Amino acid sequence: MIAYAHGIVGEGEGCYFAHFFNFPLGGWIMGLIFAIIVGLVIYYAIKGIKGKDARDEELTKEAINAIKVRYAKGEITEEEYKKIKRELEEGS
């Protein structure tokens, strides 16, 4: 059964939020607040995903710099350097 906001909507036009939240005259406000919350959750989820990509790229650059240093010090051979660098670039 759908509750009706008394005096606001006509017969047959339901305003479910109005009585569900016990806020007669303002069911649309609750709907608006709900829509804003959902929008913010989606916004921050997308922002977090994009931020993760930027962090991954930064970590890849740091790893490549680290293997450059190891190669310069003679800790790894040129073949090892090229192999590690190629794997890092393919993974990002």
For 37-79, how does the pLDDT look when each residue is reduced to its tens digit (9 = 90+)?
999 999 888 877 776 777 778 888 899 999 999 999 999 899 9
In angstroms, the CA 43 to CA 66 distance is 35
Show the beta-strand stretches assigned E in the chain: none
- Please determine, for residue 20, whether its predicted confidence score (pLDDT) is greater than 80: no
In angstroms, the CA 67 to CA 74 distance is 10
The reported pTM is 0.44
For 43-53, how does the pLDDT look when each residue is reduced to its tens digit (9 = 90+)?
888 877 776 77
* Local structure of 14: helix, strand or coil: coil
Those residues with Cβ within 8 angstroms of residue 53's Cβ, 6 or more apart along the chain or in another chain? none
